[in-house]
Each structure stands twice: as C-alpha cells, then as structure tokens.
Amino acid sequence: MDYTVVLSDNKTVDPTTQSEILEAAGATIELLDEKTESAVADAVQGADGIIVDAGTPITEAVLAGTETLGVVGRAGIGVDNIDVDAAAEHGITVVNVPDYCLDEVSTHALSLLLACVRAVPHYDREVKDETWDWETGQPLHRMAGRTLGLAGFGRIARRLASKLRAYRLDVIAQDPNVDAATMEDYGVEKVSFEGLLDCSDFLSVHTPLFEGTRHLFSTDEFERMRDDAVLVNTSRGPILDEDALVAALDDGELAKAGLDVLDSEPPSPDNPLFDRDDVVLTPHVGWYSEESRSDLSRGVASDVAAVLQGEAPSNPVDPETPWL
C-alpha cells in the first residue's frame, strides 16, 4: 500500500535515514518548510502521517481538517506543540522518542552548571581580552557538600542524578508523578516544590512544558530561592518567566543562570539576557550529538512506519500522561 508522509523537520533528524525507513514501508515523502498552522493544515490534506519538530504546531484545527492523517511523529521527547487530546478524539496516533538524547541533555545541564559555578565563560572572555587575573571572577564556592535540586524526575533528571554522585552533592527532587522510593533508588530525596526552592543551592529544570508548568518559575519563586543559587534550564524556555528572571538577577535574588532554552527561539537580538556576565547561554543544543541524531531519526521513522502498516508503535504517547 502507498502512503504519504510529510516531513517538517530537517534539523534534529537525518532526513536520509528517515526517508530510507519510510520508503521501505511504502511511503512517499513530502517536505514542509513553512511551519504556520495554516501551512501545516494544508500539508496534511491527503497525507497519512507527519513527522514534526518542536516548532511545528499540530493543533485541533490541523487535526480536524484532515480525514486521512493516521499518525503524528514527534521528532523529540516533548509533545507540547501537539494537541494530544484532539489527536485521540480524531483517532490519530501520536508517537515520540522518549529515550533519545538522555546522555546529551543530562551532560549539557551539568556543563552549564559547571560553567556557572566556575565562571568559565567569564574567565574565557577575560583571558582573551588580555586580562590574566583570578580575582575578577570572585566569589567562587566549592560545589561539594551543597544541595542540587531537580525540578522533575524523568529520564533525563535520573541520568543527571547518576552523574552527580561523583560531585558529592546532596540531591533532592520534586515531581508529583514519581514516588519517594524511586527517587531513593538514585540517591535522591523527594521534596515538595517549596522545599525545592528553599533548599537548592543549584536547581536544574527537567519538567515538561504544559499549561501547569508555564512560568512555573516566576517572581515569587525567584524571591523564595537562595540569593546565591544557580538555576539551569535545559527543558523548555517558557517554564521560566524571563522578565522575572532578569529582575531576580538584577535584584540579587539569584546568582547565575545557565540556559539552553529560551521563551522565543531564536531570541530577539535585544534580549536582555545577552549582555549579562551572570548568564550562560547555548542555542538549544543540549539534545545534539551525531549519535542522538541517528537514534532520533530511526526511532520516530520506525514508529510512524509501524502505525502506517497497522502495527503497534514502540512509543505511543498516552493523552492522559503525555509528559511521561
């Protein structure tokens, strides 16, 4: 049987690998460059499947406007750009790749933390400007013996917790969907959200984005956190209120931030986070390695192909718990 699959993502995946898998399943590939809702709605007319990245909106309007679409493949982990409830109502399967880039993102979160704690970007700039002076980065403090908090305790946070054992940190976590016994298996103490804010010297964000976590960290939360705390976010930009974050840094309510994700990507050239020595930024690259890109391409294409052929996918997204 012949199928049509629309591909809207050529950044995070290897299109050649995807095409080989899908064409072997009898699919014809159509490429979509424009990622507006109307463009996506037009593209899925007559299509059997679509594979999307985080920037492609799969809304109720898109899903309601097609009579042929059977599967939406998310080339990634988070499905905040997909209306999974509407997909379920229309009988459309959503699949993602929840176990890819676990090592990459956890390592990147740790890298951002270390860069902040040891003021690596600051010293790099100073040396390149011909300033050879250890005092310019004062004060720096020892990591060992301090407390690192994890907002969310899914696969990536668990991988990070395992890596942190060598740093002799006390690790705590808050996640309403994970019990204390599971956290204890990783040497992590379960705390409330308030306890996370109160006790964390370092806080790494690993919660998915949905309506309940949008601006989860805002003015009140930053005021409650330790004034010398370091905040790292490798999850989704809108989980942090950027205006409140800038104000907290300006007011000394937070020491530093390491961010791989921003509210708007790519950010505006006048983003106030750019000119700060207390913020380390990377361009949503935590997911990337050549190996993770290959894993992602094969994972999402194989599951889309399975659904098209009437087989059970390995990673269907449950509309009741799309963040798990």
**CA 147, CA 135: separation in Å to the nearest integer?**
25
Q: Which two tokens stand for residue 72?
A: 């939406």
Confidence of residue 281 (pLDDT cuts 50, 70, 90): very high
Q: Which two tokens stand for residue 189?
A: 């103490």
Q: Which two tokens stand for residue 307?
A: 């659904």
Summarised one tens digit per residue, pLDDT across range 26-50 is: 999 999 989 899 999 999 999 999 9
Q: Is the pLDDT of residue 322 over 70?
A: no
| Mean pLDDT, residues 108-133 taken together | 97
Which one of 79-83, 198-202, 263-267 scores highest in mean pLDDT?
A: 198-202
| Mean pLDDT, residues 66-91 taken together | 95
Q: What percent of the chain has pLDDT over 90?
A: 91
**CA 311, CA 279: separation in Å to the nearest integer?**
47
Q: What percent of the chain has pLDDT over 70?
A: 98
Confidence of residue 159 (pLDDT cuts 50, 70, 90): very high
Determine the distance from the C-alpha atom of residue 74 to the mean position of all C-alpha atoms in its chain, rounded to a whole number. Answer: 13
**CA 280, CA 269: separation in Å to the nearest integer?**
16
Q: Is the pLDDT of residue 167 over 60?
A: yes
Q: Is the pLDDT of residue 182 over 70?
A: yes
Strand order in 279-281's β-sheet? 189-190, 170-174, 147-151, 202-205, 230-233, 256-259, 279-281
Q: Which residue has the tokens 């005092």?
A: 135
Q: Is the pLDDT of residue 276 over 60?
A: yes
Taking the CA atoms of 247, 81, 30 and 98 in sequence, report the sign of the dihedral they define: positive
Q: What region, left, alpha or beta, does residue 66 occupy, with left being phi > 0 and alpha being psi -120 to 50 degrees?
A: beta
Determine the distance from the C-alpha atom of residue 66 to the mean position of all C-alpha atoms in its chain, rounded to a whole number. Answer: 29
Query: What mean pLDDT, rounded, does the chain reach?
Result: 95
Q: Is the pLDDT of residue 135 over 80?
A: yes
Query: What letter would DSSP give residue 98?
Result: T
- Could you tell me the CA-to-CA distances from 95 to 75, 256, 268, 304 in Å, in that order? 9, 36, 32, 7
**CA 34, CA 17: separation in Å to the nearest integer?**
22
pTM summary value? 0.91
Confidence of residue 320 (pLDDT cuts 50, 70, 90): confident
**CA 118, CA 86: separation in Å to the nearest integer?**
46
Q: Is the pLDDT of residue 323 over 70?
A: no
Give the three-class secondary structure for 259. strand
**CA 252, CA 156: separation in Å to the nearest integer?**
30
| pLDDT reported for residue 321 | 74
| pLDDT reported for residue 76 | 92
Could you give the residue numbers annotated as active site? 236, 265, 284
Closest alpha carbon to 247 in 270, 267, 202, 217: 217
Instruction: Judge contact between 112 and 280, C-beta under 8 A.
Output: yes
| pLDDT reported for residue 324 | 57
Confidence of residue 187 (pLDDT cuts 50, 70, 90): very high
**First vs last Cα of the chain: how many Å apart?**
33
| pLDDT reported for residue 96 | 96
